[in-house]
Structure 1
């Protein structure tokens, strides 16, 4: 059995972009995220260790959004790698 956690329309101010002005001035960004994961272990254990912690997901996204990048695709890849590393069950 699978379930998902969604973080919708999280807002950040970051310094991403190819143009020098984008990186210098910064811009507002909005991130939405859905992560599917197996539910069985958490149903049995009642432990946060066996589920996805949405506060930790938010912290991972915030950390990656704070690192300037030229491409948003690169930021998205870093977010996915951070989530996969922290929560291997996804």
Structure 2
């Protein structure tokens, strides 16, 4: 078993419950960690035997481009696609962070994190 991390994916997106948030948009950070059997790729040196982190980044960028009211909803969509398109992934964790959220305080970011295991 091994772990692949794609960390600090920076995107600008239009998520939020407030109309202004979806109109103006803001900066986000996404961290994705997947577990998979990497033994075959460690030996074969073949991209087809591993989880392609270019694909993982693409999934995050595409799903973050679809506006949602809640970060939980975006995170769930990302996980759904990771399991659909990353056939070797057994467990995935995604953390979606809104940078400088409009919550009336000096807060660097708000983060939601979801973890799922592949369903049999």
TM-score scaled by length of structure 2: 0.70
Higher helix share: 1
Instruction: Write out per-residue CA displacement over residues 56-83 of structure 1, whole angstroms, 9 at most, x where no aligned residue.
Output: 1101110000010111000000000111
Q: Which residue pairs with 1:64 in the alignment?
A: 63
Q: Which has the higher contact order (CA 8 A, sep 6+)?
A: 1
Name the SS of the counterpart of 2:32 in structure 1: strand
Q: Which residue pairs with 2:5 in the alignment?
A: 6
Give the distance between the partners of 1:5 and 1:23, measured in 2 at CA: 31
Higher strand share: 2
Name the SS of the counterpart of 2:12 in structure 1: strand
**What's the Cα RMSD here?**
1.1
TM-score scaled by length of structure 1: 0.92
Give the distance between the partners of 1:11 and 1:24, measured in 2 at CA: 19
Q: Which residue pairs with 1:16 in the alignment?
A: 15
Cα distance, 1:7 vs structure 2? 1.2
Taking the TM superposition and a 5 Å limit, the aligned residue runs for 1:42-81 are 42-81=41-80
Cα distance, 1:46 vs structure 2? 2.7
Q: Which residue pairs with 1:36 in the alignment?
A: 35
Give the distance between the partners of 2:18 and 2:42, measured in 1 at CA: 48
Q: Which residue pairs with 1:84 in the alignment?
A: 83
Deviation larger for 44-53 or 25-34: 44-53
Gaps of 5+ in 1: none
